[in-house]
Each structure stands twice: as structure tokens, then as C-alpha cells.
Structure 1
Amino acid sequence: MLTTLNEKLHAPDLAALILRVSMGVLFLAHAGLKIFVFTPAGTAQFFGSIGLPGALAYLVIAAELLGGIALIIGWQVRLVALALVPVMLGTIIFSHGASGFFFSNEGGGWEYPAFWTIALIVQALIGGGAAAASQN
């Protein structure tokens, strides 16, 4: 009986699916925040205020939107996960890093984007898992 339970709990393909869909939904949520709440122009203005080119905001929005969709459907998961790592590192370096570690700090600390960066690297290492559109 313990062997059967262990086999059911050891489901790396299911774990990879859950991880990639969860991250995909979160990337879509963050893209939606930039599009519908802050607006693309407002996001570009924020990027400019922290010393980044405003045009980079549009690339980040596109990366979050397209990367989120790709993760959800499981298209080129390893490549997409690695491509999103610089986006998350950029949030740490340029946006949240100065606010300290904890995300509950004013301005949001870097704990959450750091964890998300690690999760993307894990996803790249384990692949897309179950129900992925492409296995890479």
C-alpha cells in the first residue's frame, strides 16, 4: 500500500504541469495589471522614472503576455522559462531590490521575484510535463 501511495505522489509530469500553468497565469495577471490598471503608457513612464528606456516596458508586457500563454499551453517551455528569467532579474535589480528582501516592505521587496526566478529555472530544468504542446 505504501508503494502505491508513493507512486501516486511521485508524479513529476503533473508537478511540471502545475508549476508551468501557475506561472503562466501569474505572468498573464502581471501583464494584465500593466495593460489595464497602469496602462502601457503609464508602465513606460514608470520604467523611465527608474532609469530604464520607456520602450522596454512594452517588451516586458509582451514577454509577460506571450510567455504566460506559452507556459499555459506548454509551448517551448524550457526556452520560454529561461527567456523570462531576465525579466524577473530586472524587477529585482531595477524595481524591488532597493526595497529590501520582504515583499511586504513598502515598494515590494525582492523575495517574490527571486522565488519566481528560481521557479522559472526549475521549470527550464524539468521541462513542460504533462499536456505540454511541445516537448523540448
Structure 2
Amino acid sequence: MIDRKLAPYAVLLLRVTTGALFLYHGLVKLFVFTPAGTAGYFESIGLPGALGYLTMLAEIGGGLALILGIAARYVSAALVPVLLGAAFVAHFGNGFGWSNPGGGWEYPAMWALVQATLALLGDGAHALYPLRRR
């Protein structure tokens, strides 16, 4: 049974936590690896460099949107393919295990499921721009 009184706050915690992690990862790509370095990494694994820029934008913009609660249901759904791409393109060859060199595929796959869950749950409490069900 779901506690209807507390569930929106559980969603809030999950939304803000994942938003902060996305924001962090996007900012690391921007300020530490640099946009050119991120694009170069994507090219080194056989992907278009432009996808590195789009990933950075998705992580920073998506992270901020989740933290603030702006269309969080749609943002979470849009981040699922980004995470599945990370899991199965960038990390699958590293095996199962986050401590493997380069990180394993299970960690981004788990985050994809978390984002899918948020998309199903909704915006949660204190969302700045929640999407209302009609």
C-alpha cells in the first residue's frame, strides 16, 4: 500500500537526488573534461562527437529541471535513453560491477530504471512546474 500523504515527498527526494547527480555529471563534462574532450571521448568509442555535447546538455538541463520540478515526468522519461546509451554503449564492455575499470553497465542501467520510475510516479511535492493529470 502506498502512503498517499508521504509518497509525494519520497518522489521529491528521489527527483532532487537524481537531478543533483545529473547536474554534477554534466558539469564535470563541461568544466573538467571540457566540451571538446567530451566530444573526443564519444568519438573514441565510435559515436558522433556531437552526441557528447547533447549528453552534456541533457545532463545539465535535465538535472536542473529535476531539481526544480519542471516537467519532471517528461524530463525523467527523456533521460532514460541517455542512461541506456551510457549503459550499453559506453559501459557494457566493462562488465557488471561499478568498480570495474571504466565502470560497469549495471550502474547506468539502474539509473535508467530509477528515471523510468520517476516518469511513472510524477513530479512529487514542491514541483515548480508540475504536469497535472487530466
Moved over 3 A (4+): 7-10
**CA radius of gyration, larger in:** 1
Partner of 2:15: 20
Structure 2 residue corresponding to 1:95, chosen from 90, 93, 102: 90
1:117 aligned partner, one-letter code: A
The equivalences for 1:1-136 within 5 A come to 11-136=6-131
RMSD between superposed Cα atoms in Å: 1.6
Structure 2 segments unaligned to the other structure (5+ residues): none
Q: Alignment identity in percent?
A: 52
Deviation per CA, 1:17-63, whole angstroms, max 9, x where unpaired? Answer: 00000000000110011011111100000000000000111111001
Residue 133 (structure 1) shift: 1.2
In the TM superposition, residue 9 of structure 1 has moved relative to its aligned partner by 10
Structure 1: state its 5+ residue gaps: 1-6
Whole-Å separation in 1 of the counterparts to 2:65 and 2:40: 27
CA deviations over 1:60-101 (Å, ceiling 9, x no partner): 100101000000000101100000011101101211111011
TM score, norm. by length of structure 1: 0.91
Answer 1 or 2: which has greater helix percent.
1
